[in-house]
Amino acid sequence: MPNRQRRAALAVTMGAVLGLAGALAAGPVLAQAAPRTDLVVGMRLEPPHLDPTAGAAAAIDEVTYANLFEPLTRIDAEGKVVPGFAEKWEVSADGLTYTFHLRKGAKFHDGSDADSADVKFSLDRARGAESVNAQKGYFAAIAGVEAPDARTVVVTLSRPDGLFLFHMASGDAAIVAPESAGANKQTPVGTGPFKFERWVAGDRVVLVRNPDYDGPKPALERVTFRFINDPAAQVAALKAGDIDSFPQFDTYEALPQFRDDGAFTVMVGTTEGETILGTNNARKPFDDVRVRRAMAHAIDRKTLIDGVLFGNGAAIGSHFPPHRAGYVDLTGLYPYDPDKAKALLAEAGLPDGFATTLRLPPPIYARRSGELIAAMLAEVGIRVTVEPMEWAPWLEKVFKGKDYDLTLIAHTEPLDIDIYGRPDYYFNYQSERFNAVGAELDRTQDPAKRNALYGEQQRILAEDAVNGFLFMLPSATVQKSAVQGMWVNRPIQANDVTGVRWK
């Protein structure tokens, strides 16, 4: 072998030997660990049941929306209407006929086919006389539902409804089967990419990946929703690694410590949660607009946002979120002015104020805001007895029974300003002017015109001081830094984990 070739071969051999020696010195070569396929999601409140078509509690959708159950359309992370159980649809020129084309091969978790007959059953059930749907009004415009074949549904409206596709994307419009609908509260059966495994009352709900799902398979194989009510316990569970992601984390004072810890990511976005001092407009003295306006002047929203949300949140002056097109800034209509509040009370014949009761549901923002507002109202002579309540009695007495003076709650349903037009809603508010604008909204499809009408409605509610309009509830999520795909904003009350994965 020529010397030049011999030297080249020797160099290759020596390089290989040295490379092997280096590798041995560095230790064994380890295979890269596969990413995790399980996720533990923290929630403050446990849902009362798991049927989104039969309850108003946000916690129901937070477990089931898009994960277990699918409506015809759905809301994505950006708040847009996208295909759901229906892969496409057409709308007639007059806005009265919607033709939905359903996904092929869809099945319920029990293995039964999911088709147009189930859609017809679900919509007819939601709008029927015996309906217990919390948003029955979403279906009021439906005149009829037909299923000409297994993959086609034709919905005919009695009047145009500019929000019909949006409402059909809600959890209240989830597609269910007649064979299993009655048991969905405890053993839910949907068509989503996850299916129900078990519910340990007071502790957790466990979902597992649905191997028969007809759409894209999620990266996660198992998702556990853990219910931790106590703020200190929430922080401890995150620090101990027991919780991977905690959306709607409302212990806002703890956010800085997680921001400073590289093991965690903190995301703060927007929600649809208009937080209000709910007022019984039919009960004296709140049937007098001067009293309601006096309360509006007595509340310092900046102090509320700083004290309750630690600066995370935006003040509102009516029932509409600032991040949506059509928002009108009415926060200046009732500036904090205790003297003006006292003058309005005197004008209403209450120079010495009055006594009232404030019934508070469990969330931290409600309990903390309630105490601060009680102190603010006391400054103008309104003596408030604070009555904390758990969810079940609050829903029964306040929301359903309308047995209350004042309450405090965040309304998290998207674009829900229409609730003020419902004659039996718990505010007991009646306004022909507001209803007339609402009727025009129903007939209007053009976005610019719709936004102008939304502005009119906001002004009416603010002028009537229907409720105390406080702030938008922020969406804070604390999670392990390797978790990807959780929503930053919450355009709908949901913990959609269908696109979540680990780095």
pLDDT band at 264 (very low <50, low <70, confident <90, very high): very high
The CATH number covering residue 173 comes to 3.90.76.10
Position 386 pLDDT exceeds 60: yes
Residues 333 and 428 in one domain: yes
Residues 6+ apart with CB under 8 A from 458: 317, 318, 319, 320, 327, 328, 330, 417
Q: Is residue 35 a part of any domain in this protein?
A: no
Residues 264 and 176 in one domain: no
The CATH number covering residue 224 comes to 3.40.190.10
Of the residues 183, 216, 240, which one is the last residue of a structural domain? 183
Q: Is residue 85 a part of any domain in this protein?
A: yes
pLDDT band at 17 (very low <50, low <70, confident <90, very high): very low
Maximum C-alpha span of the chain = 116
What local confidence, expressed as pLDDT, does residue 459 receive?
98
Work out the mean pLDDT of the chain and round it to a whole number: 93
Residues 399 and 311 in one domain: yes
Position 10 pLDDT exceeds 70: no
Of the residues 149, 183, 217, which one is the last residue of a structural domain? 183
What local confidence, expressed as pLDDT, does residue 4 receive?
41
What local confidence, expressed as pLDDT, does residue 32 receive?
64
Q: Is residue 5 a part of any domain in this protein?
A: no
Two tokens, residue 439: 């009727």
* Interval 33-60 mean pLDDT: 94
pLDDT band at 31 (very low <50, low <70, confident <90, very high): low
Q: Is residue 161 a part of any domain in this protein?
A: yes
* Interval 258-285 mean pLDDT: 97
What local confidence, expressed as pLDDT, does residue 266 receive?
98
Of the residues 183, 211, 244, which one is the last residue of a structural domain? 183
* Higher pLDDT pick, 7 / 397: 397
Residues 118 and 61 in one domain: yes
Nearest CA to 361 among 331, 396, 333, 337? Answer: 396
Nearest CA to 123 among 155, 99, 97, 162? Answer: 155
- CA atoms of 281 and 425, how far apart (whole Å): 11
Backbone angles phi, psi at 98, to 5 degrees: -115, 120
Please say whether the beta carbons of 299 and 470 come within 8 A.
yes
Q: Is residue 33 a part of any domain in this protein?
A: no
Residues 288 and 425 in one domain: yes
If one counts the domains in the chain, the total is: 3
Residues 332 and 204 in one domain: no
Per cent of the chain over pLDDT 90 is 89
Distance of CA 449 to the CA centre of its chain: 26
Residues 304 and 355 in one domain: yes
pLDDT in tens, 89-129: 999 999 999 999 999 999 999 999 999 999 999 999 999 99
Q: How many CB atoms lie within 10 A of CB 413?
A: 23
Residues 451 and 481 in one domain: no
Residues 176 and 215 in one domain: no
What local confidence, expressed as pLDDT, does residue 16 receive?
41
Q: Is residue 139 a part of any domain in this protein?
A: yes
Residues 152 and 233 in one domain: no
Residues 67 and 210 in one domain: no
Residues 170 and 233 in one domain: no
* Amino acid symbol at 88: K
Position 192 pLDDT exceeds 90: yes
Q: Is residue 395 a part of any domain in this protein?
A: yes
What local confidence, expressed as pLDDT, does residue 21 receive?
38
pLDDT in tens, 305-358: 999 999 999 999 999 999 999 999 999 999 999 999 999 999 999 999 999 999
What are the CA-CA distances from residue 256 to residues 229, 245, 264, 421, 478 (Å)? 20, 16, 11, 41, 11
What local confidence, expressed as pLDDT, does residue 300 receive?
98
Residues 6+ apart with CB under 8 A from 268: 255, 312, 474, 475, 476, 477
- CA atoms of 113 and 102, how far apart (whole Å): 12
Task: Write the DSSP assignment of 272-332 as a string of letters.
Answer: S-EEEEEE-TTSTTTTSHHHHHHHHHH--HHHHHHHHSTT-SEE-SSSS-TTSTT----TT
Structural domain including 113 reads 47-183
Q: Is residue 3 a part of any domain in this protein?
A: no
The CATH number covering residue 360 comes to 3.10.105.10
Two tokens, residue 127: 């709008």
Residues 6+ apart with CB under 8 A from 433: 460
* Interval 470-485 mean pLDDT: 97
- The count of residues in the chain is 503
Q: Exposure of 296 by Cβ count < 10 A (0-12 exposed, 13-18 middle, 19+ buried)? A: buried
pTM equals: 0.84
Q: Exposure of 202 by Cβ count < 10 A (0-12 exposed, 13-18 middle, 19+ buried)? A: exposed
